């Protein structure tokens, strides 16, 4: 597949996914477990049919290693989605998750004993300051927009702090998973499709612990107003329609990223994903009219500038534009 088409899949899939996720959590903030389960089930079934060949294909990486990775991946996915139920607005959720570079650098220094240039430390500082500004301003909004009762305001702020803690934990766990994945790929080679399947199939039994919550929200979805799907003419509860589109767009997004990793350099993938996050953020702010002050914009700009500086995209763009050196005549 042409890389340009893969970029289109990433933007179309991921941006649409964010819109329909916000439609879901605005109506039912606690539906994160149902959304996560649906996404995992869809990708696992698709992978079982195509990648695992109905279970006949043996994995290149031993399942015991996948069990460790899956535990981390399942935890990150559930915690990230559950954070939306803890007074965390979607824009802050996206900005906070953009701080993965910070977590990767910290754990890279601690676990892999890596050392970075002053330039990279500067870029990470910009990302950190940007996230701090957005988080601090969101904290002020939580306390000012709640009920006039002081107790209600304190309770809302406490839940918000818990949400920030959940996002921080998920950020660090995700970075740890990335390091573990990197060591596995060095040992056994890259098997991204296989990893995608096992990361979504093996955690499915874990959702049994969340079955009551998933079932209760499924009943709430059944009670939502009816919606006639365009073209198909099928009528279904509107929340199930939102969830169906969310799952499909999540799959399109993941597939697009996978194609990019096989067709393009890692720098290009990072740049595309970063720009996608920025576009998704703009969509969320404008379409849903989420509160976003000038301070939020400043923090957002710092986060994305820091991310682009970290990838050294400017140097690569300059090198790409400069003409190749001509051979000197002897």
pLDDT at 278: 74
Q: List pLDDT tens digits, range 262-287.
A: 666 555 666 677 677 777 777 777 77
Higher-confidence position of 264 and 94: 94
Q: Judge contact between 90 and 290, C-beta under 8 A.
A: yes
pLDDT at 140: 62
Q: In this model, does residue 141 exceed pLDDT 80?
A: no
Mean pLDDT of 101-127: 80
pLDDT at 330: 43
Cα 315 to Cα 257: distance, rounded to the nearest angstrom: 23
Q: In this model, does residue 94 exceed pLDDT 50?
A: yes
Q: In this model, does residue 96 exceed pLDDT 90?
A: no
Q: List pLDDT tens digits, range 165-174.
A: 999 999 888 8
| Residue 219: Cβ-neighbour burial (10 angstroms; 0-12, 13-18, 19+) | exposed
**Residue 167 Cα to chain centre, angstroms:** 11
Per-residue pLDDT band at 308 (split at 50, 70, 90): confident
Q: In this model, does residue 4 exceed pLDDT 80?
A: no
Q: 236: which strand partners?
A: 227
Q: Judge contact between 167 and 82, C-beta under 8 A.
A: no
Counting every residue, how long is the chain? 330
Q: In this model, does residue 246 exceed pLDDT 90?
A: yes
Which range is least confidently modeled, 37-46, 99-108, 216-225? 99-108
Per-residue pLDDT band at 149 (split at 50, 70, 90): low
- The pTM of this model reads 0.75
Count of beta carbons in the 10 Å neighbourhood of residue 138: 25
Q: In this model, does residue 46 exceed pLDDT 90?
A: yes
Residue 301: its H or E element: helix 294-310
Average pLDDT, the chain: 81
Per-residue pLDDT band at 227 (split at 50, 70, 90): very high
pLDDT at 240: 96
Q: In this model, does residue 148 exceed pLDDT 70?
A: no
Pairing of strands 235-237, 226-228: antiparallel
Per-residue pLDDT band at 244 (split at 50, 70, 90): very high
Per-residue pLDDT band at 2 (split at 50, 70, 90): low
Cα 136 to Cα 111: distance, rounded to the nearest angstrom: 30
pLDDT at 208: 93
Per-residue pLDDT band at 39 (split at 50, 70, 90): very high
Cα 171 to Cα 79: distance, rounded to the nearest angstrom: 10
Q: List pLDDT tens digits, range 156-166.
A: 888 888 988 99
E strands, the chain, in order: 226-228, 235-237
Q: Judge contact between 264 and 3, C-beta under 8 A.
A: yes
Higher-confidence position of 97 and 54: 54
Higher-confidence position of 175 and 90: 175
Which range is least confidently modeled, 70-74, 149-153, 314-318? 314-318
């Amino acid at each position: 597949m042409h890389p340009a088409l893969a970029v289109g899949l990433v933007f179309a899939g991921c941006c649409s996914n964010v819109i329909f996720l916000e439609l879901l959590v605005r109506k039912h903030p606690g539906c994160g477990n149902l959304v996560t389960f649906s996404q995992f089930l869809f990708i696992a079934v698709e992978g079982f049919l195509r990648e695992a060949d109905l279970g006949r294909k043996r994995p290149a990486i031993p399942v015991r290693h996948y069990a460790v990775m899956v535990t981390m991946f399942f935890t990150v996915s559930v915690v990230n989605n559950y954070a939306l139920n803890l007074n965390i607005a979607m824009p802050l959720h996206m900005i906070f998750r953009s701080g993965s570079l910070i977590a990767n650098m910290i754990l890279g220094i601690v676990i892999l004993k890596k050392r970075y240039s002053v330039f990279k430390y500067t870029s990470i500082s910009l990302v950190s300051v940007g996230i701090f500004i957005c988080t601090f301003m969101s904290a002020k909004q939580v306390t000012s927009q709640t009920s006039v009762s002081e107790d209600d305001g304190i309770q809302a702020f406490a839940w918000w702090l818990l949400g920030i803690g959940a996002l921080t934990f998920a950020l660090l766990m995700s970075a740890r998973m990335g390091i573990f994945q990197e060591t596995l790929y060095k040992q056994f080679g890259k098997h991204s499709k296989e990893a995608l399947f096992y990361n979504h199939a093996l955690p499915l039994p874990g959702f049994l612990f969340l079955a009551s919550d998933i079932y209760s929200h499924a009943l709430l979805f059944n009670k939502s107003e009816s919606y006639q799907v365009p073209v198909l003419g099928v009528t279904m509860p509107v929340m199930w329609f939102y969830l169906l589109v969310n799952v499909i767009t999540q799959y399109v997004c993941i597939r697009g990223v996978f194609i990019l990793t096989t067709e393009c350099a890692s720098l290009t993938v990072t740049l595309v994903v970063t720009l996608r996050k920025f576009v998704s953020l703009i969509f969320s702010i404008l379409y849903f009219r989420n509160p976003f002050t000038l301070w939020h914009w400043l923090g957002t700009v710092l986060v994305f500038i820091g991310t682009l500086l970290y990838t050294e995209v400017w140097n690569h763009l300059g090198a790409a534009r400069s003409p190749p050196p001509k051979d000197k005549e002897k």
